[in-house]
Chain A
Amino acid sequence: MSWTGKQRNILDYTLSSLMRRKGRNAALVIAYTFVVFLLASVVFLAQSIKEEAKEVLREAPEIVVQRLMAGRHDMIPETYIGKIRGIPGVQSVKARLWGYYYEPLNGANYTVIADENYPYEKGTVVIGNGVARHMPPLVGKTMPMRTYGGTYLFMRIQETLSSESELVSSDLILMSVDDFRQLFRVPEGVGTDLVLSVRNPREVATVAGKIVEILPDTRPITRSEVLRTYDAVFDWRGGLIIANLIGALLAFVLFAWDKATGLSAEERREIGVLKGLGWETSDVILMKFWEGVVVSLSSFFLGVILAYGHVFFASATLFESALKGWSVLYPAFRLKPVITPYLVSVLFFLTVVPYTFATIVPSWRAATTDPDAVMRA
């Protein structure tokens, strides 16, 4: 008999043997699929957010300069602009005005930005789609905002930013510089932070170093640090998600180990009968290998396909409560689907390979013993 013919015969036998214990094996495949699904969902979600950040934030400011006061972030005087502009290599410096506004009506936090090129008149705002979603119907209506002086500004909503841009703009409220200063009572001559561009990108680190030298109460943050932040912050190998997943993974490992190491009496008898019928030890091991392959490969495929659907078609619904936390305003964004051969192989080696090999060892132990002893045990 050819090698492939023998493998197919053993696989046929393995499948019919698995079908004899339908309920038990179906439960195993469901549990296994769920573990793969959870792990793959985390990997897809984290990778996708990292890719989005890399794609979108490459236009972030080259350097952001913050001022610290007694260890806290403080408003920065515009007089710093002149000092920074004097550093060789600096192309432009401007002050940004932005802050947070808590809306007591719905408990949401908004990010308010004063746009120096704001295209509409004073007393109007442009809002992100998330803000609009929480206070419908808005466009053309007014939005009362309580100033830090205790009075109210009734801002007319001029425009809503597109839903496609929600990943960066969901909670934004854009307004004129004058309105911003009036809302937060920010005096003239100070900004929230400074943003600067540098002529030669290779000089960014040098310029950042010089800023701290000239202005020791400041903290520069470079674009590469911003990009690295998202690379590290969403590392799926860390954080609470993986801590939670470890529990599920360990429970599964325990379950698989128990199943794999402790062959049932029925399985032992089956091995004994097969050996009695003339099966070689290698044939029994081969059968168990195919059993592992069938269970783990089926679960792997189902888990990965379901995880892709969960993250990229259903916006990771199962993780929503964890991701949302206490936020009232949660952006509704469509994530960029990311699936690469590297990710699939990582998931494959994390899930399929260990299980397949875990099933072989105990079978080898049972298969090498005397058939009579195995059947009597």
Chain B
Amino acid sequence: MRLPRESTAFFLFVALCLGALLLLFAHASWRERGDRNSYAEKREIVKVLGLADLCLFTEARYTRHPAVADRFTPFQDHPLSLEHFPSASILLPPPHLSAP
């Protein structure tokens, strides 16, 4: 019996991975279609309540509502106060606050 070549096994592995990658693309597109109703619901809540931010980090005012935060909010607790909330280290400052 002839043993399969190593390169055949490698090409098979690459083909399987490419197939899996294509499946991820298909999954993303399938989920997008499936989630359309929930998007409509979220947009409705945003419209009715006039929301300007996503609810991602609830630990501080300026991480809960970064779009409507003040320029210096992170340092407002007392003079020379340094930023101390962990999620604020992940967020970059909004462009309209950092613009000169």
Chain A residues with a Cβ under 8 A of chain B: 8, 11-12, 15-16, 19, 49, 52-53, 55-61, 64, 66, 68, 71-73, 96, 100, 108-109, 111, 113, 115, 117, 128, 130, 161-162, 164-172, 174, 193, 195, 221, 225-226, 228-230, 232-235, 238-241, 294, 297-298, 301-302, 304-305, 308, 312, 322-331, 334, 336-339, 344
Nearest to B97 among chain A residues (CB) is A229
Interfacial chain A residues near B25, Cβ < 8 Å: 339
Flag whether B7 is at the interface (Cβ < 8 A): yes
> Given A240-B89, A304-B21, is A162 in contact with B57 using a C-beta cutoff of 8 Å?
no
State how many angstroms separate the Cβ of B27 from the closest Cβ of chain A: 6
State how many angstroms separate the Cβ of A78 from the closest Cβ of chain B: 16
Query: Would B72 and A239 count as touching, CB distance under 8 A?
Result: no
Q: 1/0 contact trace for B59-80 toward A, CB 8 Å?
A: 1010111111010100010000
A229 to B54, CA, bound (A): 11
Query: Would A61 and B89 count as touching, CB distance under 8 A?
Result: no
21 contacts between A and B (CB under 8 A): A12-B7, A55-B39, A64-B50, A73-B70, A111-B55, A168-B46, A168-B54, A170-B55, A171-B55, A225-B94, A226-B52, A226-B68, A230-B54, A301-B14, A301-B17, A301-B18, A305-B24, A308-B24, A325-B63, A325-B87, A337-B32
Q: Which of B6, B45, B65 contacts A165 (CB 8 A)?
A: B45
Q: How large is the interface on B (under 10, 10 to 19, 20 to 34, 35 or more residues)?
A: 35 or more
Interfacial chain B residues near A298, Cβ < 8 Å: 13, 17
State how many angstroms separate the Cβ of A307 from the closest Cβ of chain B: 10
Interfacial chain B residues near A161, Cβ < 8 Å: 45
Flag whether B58 is at the interface (Cβ < 8 A): yes
Interfacial chain B residues near A164, Cβ < 8 Å: 37-38, 41-42
Query: Would A168 and B42 count as touching, CB distance under 8 A?
Result: yes
Query: Would B96 and A326 count as touching, CB distance under 8 A?
Result: no
Of B18, B28, B65, most buried by chain A (CB within 10 Å of CB) is B28
Q: Which of A73, A128, A301 contacts B20 (CB 8 A)?
A: A301
> Given A327-B59, A338-B28, is A221 in contact with B67 using a C-beta cutoff of 8 Å?
yes
A108 to B37, CA, bound (A): 30
Query: Would B68 and A228 count as touching, CB distance under 8 A?
Result: no
Nearest to B76 among chain A residues (CB) is A72
A240 to B88, CA, bound (A): 9
> Given A52-B54, A229-B67, A305-B17, is A325 in contact with B85 using a C-beta cutoff of 8 Å?
yes
Interfacial chain B residues near A239, Cβ < 8 Å: 89-92
Query: Would A168 and B45 count as touching, CB distance under 8 A?
Result: yes
Query: Would B68 and A57 count as touching, CB distance under 8 A?
Result: no
Q: Which of B20, B67, B76 contacts A225 (CB 8 A)?
A: B67
Interfacial chain A residues near B24, Cβ < 8 Å: 305, 308, 337, 339
State how many angstroms separate the Cβ of B69 from the closest Cβ of chain A: 9
Interfacial chain A residues near B48, Cβ < 8 Å: 115, 117
> Given A60-B46, A164-B41, is A11 in contact with B95 using a C-beta cutoff of 8 Å?
no
Interfacial chain A residues near B45, Cβ < 8 Å: 161, 165, 168-169
Query: Would B96 and A221 count as touching, CB distance under 8 A?
Result: yes
Query: Would A323 and B17 count as touching, CB distance under 8 A?
Result: no
Query: Would B95 and A229 count as touching, CB distance under 8 A?
Result: yes
Query: Would B55 and A167 count as touching, CB distance under 8 A?
Result: yes
Nearest to B95 among chain A residues (CB) is A232
